[in-house]
Amino acid sequence: MKYTVILEEGDSSYGAYVPDLPGCVAAGETREEALALIREAIEFHIEGLKQEGQPVPKPHSVSELVDVDTA
């Protein structure tokens, strides 16, 4: 499955979260590190859901960049 991951750049690090998996978050010093860590977090999160007998949410979130005139 492919989940939408939101990356946010902070002053000195990157944060990542998955809208379809509430509570699934990660942070890293670089964009690449944050992506690697969120991939691990997704796998761990899904494993935990399965162990608890909870359903694994199907991905339904999407993202789109929208151009806005700020002039």
Residue 24 lies in a domain: yes
- Report pLDDT for 71: 87
pTM for the predicted model, two decimal places: 0.89
Could you list the residue range(s) of the whole structural domain that residue 42 is in? 6-51
Number of domains in the chain: 1
pLDDT band of 14, cuts 50, 70, 90: very high
Whether 68 maps to a domain, the answer reads no
Residue with tokens 């694994």: 56
Place of tokens 């979260």: 17
Q: What is the pLDDT of residues 15-70, one digit of tens each?
A: 999 999 999 999 999 999 999 999 999 999 999 999 999 999 999 999 999 999 99
Evaluate whether 20 touches 59 at the Cβ level (below 8 Å): yes
Q: Which of 1, 40, 47, 48 is nearest to 20 (CA)?
A: 1
In the block, residue with structure tokens 């339904």: 60
